[in-house]
Structure formats: structure tokens, C-alpha cells
Amino acid sequence: MNQHSTNTDPPLLVRDMTVAYDKRPVLWDIDYASPPITRGHGSLTAIVGPNGAGKSTFIKACLGLLPVATGNVRFFGQPLAKARALVGYVPQRESVDWDFPVSVLDVVAMGRYRTLGWLSPVTRAAKAQALDALAHVGIDNLAHRQIGQLSGGQQQRVFIARALAQQARLYFMDEPFAGVDAATEQAIIAVLRSLRDQGVTVLVVHHDLQTVPTYFDHALLLNTRLIATGTIADAFTPTNLQRTYGGRLTLLEQASTALAQNIGPAGVRGQA
């Protein structure tokens, strides 16, 4: 852990964040604090909201990849420049060219580049750590394949492994479950849970409202403004979903069915 952080500093603290494209606000006055680390346990937070609600923008603005109009972001009480080593990022799978001439192991080792510094070549130790991360997501046997030869699910696991190789304390993941097979979905959720149990904070942009209560313990409901945030029991309520999604009934029905089935265990986990 970072020596400067104290127990009172939340892993992620966003104050007053407004982001605009072309003077049209995409995120408006967001104030958010991620759940504190309690007894060595981190948290899994689902970021949900309709298309165009600013979910990816929120992640990118926190990471300094987009300019913010106003606001500031603190990680473990520190500005991004001092906390980079603590923060990991899994971009959307479509954000890169999977025909790129590079091996799986090379991509995962990219997670170590910050530690390696500017000019050092990729060391044997970095490759060993990359292989270890690949083993965590169950595809270390594919280490020497070119990335284009993998299935969509395997490609997503490569991205997760690259984030693991960063050994961060807080992760942003942009739709890691989009278009993956069931086995990959289970493998990723197992990784996320083990991260949480090691005290890591994970924020995930998630589209499948049905699985939110089973996979996550906290939710952040976003539609340009922050609609609600808190434990699943407190924040992921039909009223809040209605306010986030407006009148899209089919989606809301799905969500309420999911809630009816899962509110018990999710609520207990949320308070744990």
C-alpha cells in the first residue's frame, strides 16, 4: 500500500467533476467517493447507465485521458500524478487493433512498463510476472500466440491479465463482460472477487442489469449526473433505475426480476 494514504482517504474521490464535448456537458457536477477499504476488503462497484450516459467518459476523465472542465480527482488522497502506480485501467476491447503484430505475453508485459521505466527493455522478471498474470485468468498456455488468433473472450482475458500485471490498488474496467463467452465471464468475475478480497477497489462499466446484484456489492448509477451510489440494496433500486433509464420498461422489468431474485444475498454482501 501507499505509505501516504490513511484509512480516511477513499480509494477514489471525485469532486465537482464536469466534462463537456463541444460545450455540451457529458458529465455534470459529479461528486463521488468509492467505498472505503474495510478490514482488508476492497469493493466491486458496477457503473451503470444508458448509452451516452457518460460511463466511459467518467473513467477516462478520472484517469486524466480526457480534459475536465471543472473538478478534481484524488486516489488514496493523492492527485493522479502521484498515484499512477496505484491505478490500473482495462479499456474497451474494441479500442485496439487485434491484428497488431504482437504476442499475448508482450501485451500482458505492457502492464509492467511503468515500473520498468522509459528505456529499460522488457526484463525476464517482467515476463515472468506477465506469465503469472496470464495463469490467473487461465490462458497461460496461449502466451506465445499472436493476439489476433484468440477468441473474443480470450482477448478480454488478455486485457484483464495486463491490468493484473500492473499490480494496482484500484482498477477501472470498461465493459469487460461485453461479448464474452460464459466461461470467460465466470473467470473474470472470479478474478474480480479475489482482487476485492485482497483489498483492491474495482469499478466496472457493466451493461447487464440482471447480473449487477450477483456480481457486484456496490453500484454507481449515472446519466450525465450522478443519480445514486451506495450498496446494491441502497442504490440499485427500481426508483433509482427509473430515474437513470427513464421509461425503458423492458430494461426495468429485467432489473426488478433480478432484484427480486438476488436482493437477499446481495444485501448481506453489501453490508459485509
Q: In the complex, which residues of this chain contact other proteins (CB under 8 A)? A: 60, 63-65, 81, 84, 87-89, 91, 95-97, 100-103, 106-107, 110, 113-114, 116, 118-119, 121-122, 146, 148, 162, 166
Count Cβ atoms within 10 A of the Cβ of residue 76 and give its class: 0-12 exposed, 13-18 middle, 19 or more buried.
buried
Please give the Cα distance from 243 to 206 (Å, whole number): 17
Identify the CA nearest to 159 among candidates 117, 111, 212: 111
The smaller minimum CB distance to other proteins, of residues 120 and 186, is found at: 120
Q: CB 148 → other proteins: shortest distance, Å?
A: 7
The smaller minimum CB distance to other proteins, of residues 81 and 182, is found at: 81
Please give the Cα distance from 87 to 79 (Å, whole number): 11
User: In sequence order, what E strands does 51-189 have?
Assistant: 70-75, 87-90, 170-174
Please give the Cα distance from 40 to 197 (Å, whole number): 7
Establish how many alpha carbons lie within 13 A of residue 130's alpha carbon, considering only the half-sphere containing its beta carbon: 25
The smaller minimum CB distance to other proteins, of residues 69 and 252, is found at: 69
Q: CB 158 → other proteins: shortest distance, Å?
A: 11
Q: CB 43 → other proteins: shortest distance, Å?
A: 21
DSSP 7-42: TTS-SEEEEEEEEEETTEEEEEEEEEEPPPPBTTB-
Helices of type H across 204-246: 212-215, 232-235, 238-245
Q: CB 110 → other proteins: shortest distance, Å?
A: 5
User: C-alpha 64: how far from its chain's center?
Assistant: 15
The smaller minimum CB distance to other proteins, of residues 149 and 257, is found at: 149
Q: CB 102 → other proteins: shortest distance, Å?
A: 5
Q: CB 47 → other proteins: shortest distance, Å?
A: 17
The smaller minimum CB distance to other proteins, of residues 31 and 97, is found at: 97
The smaller minimum CB distance to other proteins, of residues 66 and 263, is found at: 66
The smaller minimum CB distance to other proteins, of residues 12 and 266, is found at: 12
Strand partners, 174: 205
Three cell numbers, residue 56: 466511459
